[in-house]
Amino acid sequence: MADIEDLCPEPLPRFRYVSSTVCPMWFWIALGILCTFFIATVSIGMVTGSLARRPRRSVYDIEEAVEFVADRLPEDLTSVVSFEEVRAVLLFHCDYLADKGVASLATADDMGSALVVVPEDEPIAYVLGKVSDSDLQLNDEQVLQILDAESEYYRAIGAFGPMVDLPQDPST
């Protein structure tokens, strides 16, 4: 059998750092950490900047809306209207807004930036029609008071913008 010394008669050379031509390993580690920090800072800055330019999201919470509206209804109305009836009227109004494209489950990236103008009487007529088609025992005045209180909720969460004056019809 051959001895190991016969196979490798000369000792293997040891690696040495030459300080004048090769950078030490700690330099490359520090450079990697700095590059990683720079990339993370730029990424976070870009996301923060894009979120800062977006309008504040208005989130409609049905439970919160029912509480808000019920607290602002007149006492004579709260004695005859239940929370479930208020919830039903609010959901009818949400259905109308979803049909018009104002309310959706879309994220902020999916929402369009076009101005949506909703006439004042159209949603009221829609909700009154839905209430009359349902088994709710509410008259028109009660529904209007619920919708008025709901409009306060929309303003409180920032969902409704300012009133818009429509341009005059040139044919008139």
Q: What is the pLDDT of residues 27-50, one digit of tens each?
A: 889 999 999 999 999 999 999 988
User: Could you tell me if residue 162 is inside a domain?
Assistant: no
User: Could you tell me if residue 165 is inside a domain?
Assistant: no
pLDDT digits (tens, 9 = 90+) for 153-168: 888 887 776 666 666 6
> What pLDDT score does 106 carry?
56
Q: How many domains does the chain have?
A: 2
> What pLDDT score does 35 carry?
96
Give the Cα separation of 123 and 151 in Å (integer): 12
Give the Cα separation of 60 and 65 in Å (integer): 7
Q: Are residues 136 and 75 in the same domain?
A: yes
User: Looking at the chain, how many residues does it have?
Assistant: 172
Please state the rounded mean pLDDT for residues 136-143.
Answer: 90
Range of the domain at 88: 62-157
User: Could you tell me if residue 130 is inside a domain?
Assistant: yes
Q: Are 93 and 150 in contact (CB under 8 A)?
A: yes
pLDDT digits (tens, 9 = 90+) for 55-77: 666 778 889 999 999 999 999 98
Domain boundary among 36, 53, 70: 53
User: 61: left (phi > 0), else alpha (psi -120 to 50), else beta?
Assistant: beta
Residue in this structure with the two tokens 């008025």, named with its chain if needed? 148
User: Could you tell me if residue 118 is inside a domain?
Assistant: yes
